[in-house]
Amino acid sequence: MALKVKNTAIVRENSEIGTGIHSLWIEDPQISKAAKPGQFVSLYTGAADKLLPRPISLCEIKKEAGLLRLVFRIAGAGTERIAGFGPGDPIEVMGPLGNGFDMDGCKRAILIGGGIGIPPMLELAKQLSCEKSIVLGYRDELFLNREFEAYGSVFISTEDGSCGVKGNVIDAIRENALDGDMIFACGPTPMLRGVKQYAKEKQIRAQLSLEERMACGIGACLACVCRSKDTDEHTNVNNKRICKDGPVFYAEDVEI
Ligand SMILES: Cc1cc2nc3c(=O)[nH]c(=O)nc-3n(C[C@H](O)[C@H](O)[C@H](O)COP(=O)(O)OP(=O)(O)OC[C@H]3O[C@@H](n4cnc5c(N)ncnc54)[C@H](O)[C@@H]3O)c2cc1C
Ligand code: FES
């Protein structure tokens, strides 16, 4: 069984890399050693009224230094509190959680990140050894884009047309005639729906990372289920728990 622990990690660095977007480096040698791209951790905010931890994807993993990088947008009280942590502060963290991306066997990958689904694609871009086209979709303000350039060809879409292709990630893929034998995607559900449809049209396999709202984060409460092709061995219905069975699924296995 895969390692999953609850530890007190130490914050090493916290910087704002975009409007309301934070890059947090935490030190936890045990979780970092076991972690892989596409997995996430649950962060406890430490506040008495915020008992449920907040799930955040792994953006970078530095196993030798025992470090994990988390990049998140302030969405509400929990992430606002996490954004207030500084170097040296302890932070309760559970992980690594979820299954992660299947990196075996692809020769030409298309990595697609939309908005706050962009961070987990960075560690994947670093670890995937095949040829990569990296498509990043933003509303307007860019973040993290320069950090992808070392790992593949980067294509950008913005909703307002201020950078790259005006439109969404699928517009950027079509306009640049990108091709591959595996798509990896993380982003808002409407984007993932578009990616699933595009992958079906082009007959490319696709792995989608779903970032549904969660409660327990460990498969116990069923707060995060999505409809699936196969039945869940736990409940015997056509459901998958995103936190435990996912968050990464092959597109044909889930209804979104
Ligand atoms: C597996 C997974 C990985 C994630 N990775 C990242 C990441 O790398 N970076 C990042 O910024 N965020 C990520 N998220 C989303 C993040 O967990 C939420 O933004 C966070 O829990 C919000 O907590 P809060 O207390 O700040 O806001 P809340 O007060 O709980 O919510 C504020 C607002 O955000 C909405 N919201 C909360 N959670 C989600 C969600 N999962 N999807 C869409 N809307 C939501 C709420 O409906 C509400 O409108 C991830 C979520 C999951 C499930
Ligand atoms: S969040 Fe509880 S089962 Fe997924």
SS3 for the chain is CCCCEEEEEEEEEEEEEECCEEEEEEECHHHHHHCCCCCEEEECCCCCCCCCCEEEECCEEECCCCEEEEEEECCCHHHHHHHCCCCCCEEEEEEEECCCCCCCCCCEEEEEEEHHHCHHHHHHHHHCCCEEEEEEEECCCCCCHHHHHHHCEEEEEECCCCCCEECCHHHHHHHCCCCCCEEEEECCHHHHHHHHHHHHHHCCEEEEECCCCCCCCCCCCCCCEEEECCCCCCCCCCEEECCCCCCEEEHHHECC
State pLDDT tens for residues 57-111.
Answer: 999 999 999 999 999 999 999 999 999 999 999 999 999 999 999 999 899 999 9
Binned at pLDDT 50, 70 and 90, residue 49 comes out as: low
- For the CA of 79, the nearest atom of ligand 1: 26
For ligand 1, atom 31: residue with the closest CA: 76
User: Which atom of ligand 1 is the closest one to the Cα of 54?
Assistant: 21
Ligand 1 contacts (CB < 6 A) are 40, 54-57, 71-73, 75-79, 116, 119, 211-214, 247
Lowest mean pLDDT of 129-133, 235-239, 246-250, name the range: 235-239
CATH number, span 108-211? 3.40.50.80
pTM of the full predicted structure?
Answer: 0.95
50 band by pLDDT with thresholds 50, 70 and 90:
low
Q: Where in the chain is the domain with CATH 3.40.50.80?
A: 108-211
Residue 111's pLDDT is what?
98
Q: Where does CATH 2.40.30.10 sit in the chain?
A: 5-97
Pocket of ligand 2 (CB under 6 A): 214-217, 219-224, 241, 243
Considering the domain 5-97 in this protein, what is its CATH number?
Answer: 2.40.30.10
Q: Give the distance (Å) from ligand 2 centre to CA of residue 130.
A: 33
